[in-house]
Homo-oligomer: A and B are copies of this chain.
């Protein structure tokens, strides 16, 4: 069962990779870890496969690259080896019950670079977990944005993607987040009240969502308390068995 945590820098991918892996191990599963971030210094888990064995972005920066250029360059250099990674991860997935893939620090490196697209395309039936943190959700439009973003990841990588609010231990009013994220009809009715052009676009997009998206639960996760880990485990298992129906 291959799980890939995808999200922007700071969304909690690495911390969750470590915490969810520990949770699985405590529940008796064998777990393999894959680190795809060329720029990370410390990891809260021991990776079985690690792109930093081949390339690190800070070594590239020593040659005079700026941070953005170095990150892109590091995946340019990894690209010729993408099939090797696909083989190694696939082999590891035959030996372990769960594989956790911790994707690049910057999400766009994964979504827009051929390395990410080819890697995910080559893996057997991975499940993508799209992590977003509560601090990017201010207006009703933002909830529409993250629901659609999950679909964009699916569209780009061809990988079933489940949206997951991370860091829920930092949130006071989780029910408000749940209502906006779980109930598309409620969100749509709220967006109808927004008078701006942005609100109208969000209303239109949100109205179309039920027809566009395969029905998907939203996960609510905390790496600190372990909340939601049981649901993620169940969902990963269902994905593995049913290939995509995550109602």
Contact = CB atoms under 8 A, between A and B. Distances in A.
Interface of A: 8-10, 37, 39-41, 57-58, 61, 66-72, 105-109, 112, 114, 117, 135-136, 138, 141-142, 144-145, 148-149, 151-152, 154-156, 158, 196-198, 201-202, 204-205, 208, 211-212, 214, 244
Contacts of A61: 61, 67
A37 B196 CA distance: 29
Given A67-B61, A68-B106, A72-B9, A155 B151 contact: no
A37 B69 CA distance: 12
B68 A39 contact: yes
Contacts of A151: 201, 205
A56 to B, nearest CB: 10
B66 A108 contact: no
Contacts of A8: 108, 112
A113 to B, nearest CB: 8
A24 to B, nearest CB: 26
B105 A197 contact: no
Contacts of A112: 8, 136
B105 A108 contact: no
Nearest to A60: B67
Contacts of A212: 201, 204-205, 208
Contacts of A135: 114
